Amino acid sequence: MKTKQLLILVTFVALFAGCATVTPNELISARSAYRLASEGPAEQLAPAELHKAHEALVLAEQSFLKEPDSQKTKDLAYVAQRKSEQAGTLGAMAADKARKDKANVDFQKKQTEIVKQGKQDLSDSEKRTADALAALAALAAVKEEERGLVVTLSGGVLFQSAKATLLSSAEVKLDQVANALLAVSARNLIVEGHTDSRGSESYNQGLSQRRADVVRDYLVKKGYPADRIQSRGKGEGSPIANNASPEGRANNRRVEIIIER
């Protein structure tokens, strides 16, 4: 509406003064600056400043009608131009502030969403872990230790004596273990091979490493992430029973899968 009124005034000025006199550059610039400001965000976001610019431009136009070539007209037009630029800048600033406020709200929302999703993921993960542990406990001996959760598989169930080749019956068991472990595939695993004390220490070390490798490779083949699973041969150095009896030696021949925390 104001722009319309101003256009009428400008037309009026042009009709009566335009033919006889040259419009000062200051006034041309002021009109242009006001138009630019009024077409931008200032109309919505800095209306008071735009109104001041409008009033300043009206004063300049009126002065131009009375004294087209005067310094006063040029000065008033100059002021109108600056006030228009000021209104335009304030409009842009208000738009920037609105953009900033919206971005901050979006940031908060996204953060809340992430935290919520994180909690949900944690809850899901905890449930998956509990289910996996229950499944593992049904398949093998499971023990909570400082190094993590230790799943112990008897060597006699997995391998032929003195060999590192999986028994066919062992594959069924390992499939079940792998399925349970896949539910916690974000955890790091260590597969440790252990032997009894019969045979030389170096032989036992090599055998335990080969057995650990075989189990590791099998779990990887079943889908466990290779970069999350290591194998270690521990030889006869970490017995869990007395090697003097056949029963004790059978217990010492084992593969442990450690699920790290």
Partner 1 sequence: MKHVSKNGIMVFAVAVVATAIVAGCANAPLRTEASTSGIRAAEEAGAAKVPQASLHLQLAKEELELAKALAAKGKKDEAASMLLRAEADAELAVVLSHGDAEKSEAMAAVERVRQLRKDNQ
CB 223 within 8 A of CB 182: yes
Encoded amino acid at 70, one letter: S
For partner 1, give the closer residue by CB, 75 or 144: 75
For partner 1, give the closer residue by CB, 114 or 138: 114
For partner 1, give the closer residue by CB, 39 or 121: 121
Measured distance CA(47)–CA(24) in Å, rounded: 27
Q: How far is the CB of 35 from partner 1 (least distance, A)?
A: 18
Task: Count residues binding partner 1 (CB under 8 A).
Answer: 25
Q: Binders of partner 1 among 89-108, rule CB under 8 A? A: 89-90, 92-93, 96-97, 99-100, 103-104, 106-107
For partner 1, give the closer residue by CB, 78 or 224: 78
H or E element that contains 259: strand 254-259
Measured distance CA(153)–CA(174) in Å, rounded: 9
Q: How far is the CB of 146 from partner 1 (least distance, A)?
A: 34
How is residue 14 annotated by DSSP? I
Q: In the set 10, 27, 42, 76, which binds partner 1 (CB under 8 A)? A: 76
Measured distance CA(89)–CA(99) in Å, rounded: 15
For partner 1, give the closer residue by CB, 94 or 241: 94
Number of other residues whose CB lies within 10 A of the CB of residue 168: 7
For partner 1, give the closer residue by CB, 89 or 179: 89
Q: How far is the CB of 117 from partner 1 (least distance, A)?
A: 8
Helix 25-39 and helix 2-13, axial crossing angle in degrees, nearest 10: 160
Q: How far is the CB of 81 from partner 1 (least distance, A)?
A: 8
Closest CA to 254 of 202, 195, 207: 195
For partner 1, give the closer residue by CB, 42 or 259: 42
**Interface with partner 1 includes 79 (CB under 8 A)?**
yes
Encoded amino acid at 62, one letter: Q
| Rounded alpha-carbon distances, angstroms, from residue 85 to 13, 93, 105, 116, 124 | 23, 12, 30, 46, 57
Measured distance CA(209)–CA(231) in Å, rounded: 7
Q: How far is the CB of 188 from partner 1 (least distance, A)?
A: 23
Residue 213 token pair: 């490798």
Q: Binders of partner 1 among 100-159, rule CB under 8 A? A: 100, 103-104, 106-107, 110-111, 114
Interface ranges with partner 1 (CB under 8 A): 71-72, 75-76, 78-79, 82-83, 85-86, 89-90, 92-93, 96-97, 99-100, 103-104, 106-107, 110-111, 114
